[in-house]
Amino acid sequence: PPPLSAAAFSCRRYVAGGECKSTAKLEGKVAIITGANTGIGKETARDLARRGKVIIACRDLGKAEAAASEIRAETGNQQVIVKKLDLADTKSIREFAEKFLAEEKELHILINNAGVMLCPYSKTADGFEMHLGVNHLGHFLLTFLLLECLKQSAPARIVNVSSLAHHGGRIRFHDLHGEKSYNRGLAYCHSKLANVLFTRELARRLQGNCPGLLSFAIGTKVTANALHPGSVYSELVRHSFVMTWLWKIFSFFLKTPREGAQTSVYCAVAEELDSVTGQYFSDCQPAYVSPRGRDDETAKKLWSVSCELLGIQWD
């Protein structure tokens, strides 16, 4: 291709955003990444595979195995393992956790990356609206099932991939599953706000219920942070013909999946985040959270409603 003009190059660099500079190695450490067979999840797995052991947790085993063998060949790391996980089915989530805990002694990084976007109205195997079910409840249950392992392996990190779209979300407790009214764009926004609120409340509980972000030492040494990866050219918009078309036209102004993965990697490995928890990042730096995303009462209520829906007790 012809060389980029200076203006185009500057524009492209601006779009690329922040880059994770950390060279931290993860020898002897284990990371799980959900939805790592494509897009930013795959690029996150590629980066972490240069540092340590990676478990790719995906619904589509064929795609996941293809991604894993590509990453193994490129990084020379044979410790890139594929496991079946369907976040739209709590039975699959429980089976995944059970197998993982039977086979692995430790877990140091859990990246809740998988997501659906702009789905036509549909429900998960358990009757949850698809965006809320996969993006929030599926990861909520997965984190619950793996938390003891994370605590025992501490220091450990939980990284929740949210989105700038959380600004457009609200938690509609009166109609959580969109049965009264449904808009697929808003349903995505609501689920991304749920990611931010879950991260906030989880961080608070892991700190030993201390107000604010008090001394890390009195908590569990497990951190939980959320992030916005940026507007990324990926398969996430596949359910919308219009968005797919727009994404193609404006691809120059979108991050590549590798660029979009940088903040996930940063939250997972950067040494300066060792004791940072309950925060929200974009472009590898702290970012603004919407007022709804800072509402502790809503976060607490969402937590208890999520536990009820999933039939778990998480105190």
CA distance 22 to 76: 20
Whether 1 is covered by a domain: the verdict is no
Closest CA to 36 of 92, 76, 108, 85: 85
Domain with 197 in it: what CATH number?
Answer: 3.40.50.720
Whether 8 is covered by a domain: the verdict is no
Question: Torsion angle, CA of 59/277/258/47, rounded to 10 degrees?
Answer: -80
Residues spanned by the domain of 144:
25-72+89-310
Residue 9 has a pLDDT of 52
Whether 217 is covered by a domain: the verdict is yes
Whether 113 is covered by a domain: the verdict is yes
How many CB atoms are closer than 10 A to CB 271? Answer: 8
Whether 10 is covered by a domain: the verdict is no
How many CB atoms are closer than 10 A to CB 262? Answer: 25
Q: Is 188 a catalytic residue?
A: yes
Whether 9 is covered by a domain: the verdict is no
Extended strands (E) in the chain: 26-34, 52-58, 80-84, 109-112, 156-161, 222-228, 280-282, 285-286
Instruction: Count structural domains, the chain.
Output: 1
Q: What is the mean pLDDT of each run of 10 residues along the chain (315 residues)?
A: 58 65 96 95 97 97 97 98 98 98 97 94 98 98 98 98 95 98 95 98 85 54 94 52 50 71 97 97 96 98 98 96
Whether 219 is covered by a domain: the verdict is yes
Q: Choosing from 14, 121, 182, 188, which is the catalytic residue? A: 188
For the record, the structure tokens of 292 come out as: 């709804």
Residue 243 has a pLDDT of 52
